[in-house]
Amino acid sequence: MRHARDCDLDRIDGLLAQVRTLPGLIEKKRGVFYRKSRAFLHFHEDPKGLFADISDPDERIDVSEASGQTALIEAARRRLA
């Protein structure tokens, strides 16, 4: 599993736009989000699909489909609350 490249992130541009609206996150590099000084969220790609790794607690979510993207936004909101 490798870190998502720009061509991978292009597939989830709408999801990235939603993540950018969440309070308290800073996008240090496209698709890599920090909360304060700690890594909070980034994306990986492999033959099975596109995945998000989110912290506090650590979880990997398949964001290849809309249902996974919704789950990611909900998980991020819970952690940021």
Count CB-CB contacts under 10 A for residue 4: 23
Task: Please choose, from the candidates 24, 30, 11, 28, the residue with its C-alpha nearest in 3D space to the C-alpha of residue 78.
Answer: 24
φ, ψ for residue 26 (rounded to 5)? -125, 130
Report the C-alpha dihedral over residues 68, 74, 75, 79, rounded to 10 degrees. 160
Express each pLDDT in 35-75 by its tens digit.
Answer: 999 999 999 998 999 999 999 999 999 999 999 999 999 99
Express each pLDDT in 45-54 by its tens digit.
Answer: 989 999 999 9
Q: Which domain holds residue 38?
A: 2-80
The total domain count for the chain is 1
Task: Please choose, from the candidates 80, 72, 74, the residue with its C-alpha nearest in 3D space to the C-alpha of residue 56.
Answer: 80
What is the pTM for the complete model shown? 0.93
